[in-house]
Structure 1
Amino acid sequence: MAKIHAFIRNHFDFLTYTVFGFLASLINIFTFMGVQNFFHAHYMVANTIAWLVSVIFGFFTNKSFVFKSKYSTGYALITELIAFLFFRGISLLADSFIMFGCISILSMTSLWAKIVDQILVGILNYVTTRYIFSRDQREMFQRLRSRRTRRKKDDVER
């Protein structure tokens, strides 16, 4: 039992990311299928809409529950959001490429293509999300903010 507790404690970020990542993937898949089937949208349009919905969910769950990044200032929130959207934008490119390859080249059904896509993109998203909300990253942003504040203060004094 002690080994299980130690494992959970040592891998808590990954385990909680897996749970919320799974939920984000379900949101992505159900949104994709809903938009594609209900609105008869092209799979790339449905994929982009599904990406947007799951990214909004992912930002707040990763920030609050997985990596426990605090809402210290509005500036810090915007900085994390921009970094998150930047890296998720990269994952949208990978997402779109995988969907195109699976559906247009390999002739997979859109559901199976989306499942394969979510597994591969999920791995990419974990690596980039961990970077965004890591303590070292937050400390770097704080150093940059304090340096900018000092520079503004020096400019005012001149």
Structure 2
Amino acid sequence: MDFIRKHRDFAVYCLFGFLASIINIIIFDVSHNNFGVPLWIANTIAWFISNVFSFFVTKIFVFKTEMGSYKKMFNEGIYFIVSRLFSLLFDDVFMIVAVLIFPLNNILIKAIDQLVVGLFNYYSSKWIFNYNNRNIIEKIKQFRISQKNNEKKESEAKEI
């Protein structure tokens, strides 16, 4: 029972991550293989749609954070998308290189890609939705504010 409690977030994330990966693969397949959309554009469209889905299910079901105000959700969404931009970059490069190098079906390559990207996304999501880490962000903001205040005081002192 202790093992289940300890790894609950990861197990639930895997379930919803699997669903997000299925969405990603289906959208990629339909747009690239059926409609002839260029690989990186189809991959990016699939990434965007699956990440919108992933944001909400990760927030609500995995890390169980409140929806809160629009400002709070917007800030979390920004952190979420920025962290996922790194995975998009990897995702696009991996797909292009793997499809060009390996004589495998692009859907099989996409599935392998989703496993690797999914692990990165879990840890970045855990960091974003874990409010203990928010203290780090708040400390950075406070440090910047204090630096600006010190600079302002120094410039005022020079004027006198």
Is the structural similarity TM-score above 0.5?
Answer: yes
AA aligned to 2:91 is: D
Match of 1:154 in 2: none
AA aligned to 2:110 is: K
AA aligned to 1:54 is: S
Aligned-partner Cα distance in 1 for 2:128–2:52? 15
Q: 1:71 aligns with which of 61, 67, 71?
A: 67
Aligned-partner Cα distance in 1 for 2:102–2:91? 15
Aligned-partner Cα distance in 1 for 2:39–2:105? 11
Aligned-partner Cα distance in 1 for 2:34–2:101? 24
Say whether residues 1:55 and 2:55 are aligned partners.
Answer: no
Aligned-partner Cα distance in 1 for 2:96–2:116? 14
Aligned-partner Cα distance in 2 for 1:107–1:49? 24
Identical-residue share of aligned pairs (%)? 38
Question: SS of the residue aligned with 2:68?
Answer: coil
How much is the aligned-residue C-alpha RMSD, in angstroms? 1.9
Match of 2:98 in 1: 102
Question: SS of the residue aligned with 1:98?
Answer: helix
Aligned-partner Cα distance in 1 for 2:5–2:54? 22
Aligned-partner Cα distance in 2 for 1:92–1:62? 18
AA aligned to 1:55 is: N
Larger Rg: 1 or 2?
2
Aligned-partner Cα distance in 2 for 1:72–1:56? 17
AA aligned to 1:36 is: H
Q: Does the Cα contact within 8 Å between 1:43 and 1:110 map onto a contact in 2?
A: no
Aligned-partner Cα distance in 2 for 1:53–1:59? 10
Question: SS of the residue aligned with 2:99?
Answer: helix
Q: 2:16 aligns with which of 16, 20, 26?
A: 20
Q: TM-score, normalised by structure 1?
A: 0.83
Say whether residues 1:38 and 2:38 are aligned partners.
Answer: no
Cα displacement (A) at 1:108 = 2.5
Structure 1 stretches of 4+ moved >3 Å: 138-145
Aligned residues: 143
Aligned-partner Cα distance in 1 for 2:89–2:50? 15
Unaligned runs of 5+ in 2: 146-160
Cα displacement (A) at 1:26 = 0.6
Unaligned runs of 5+ in 1: 149-158
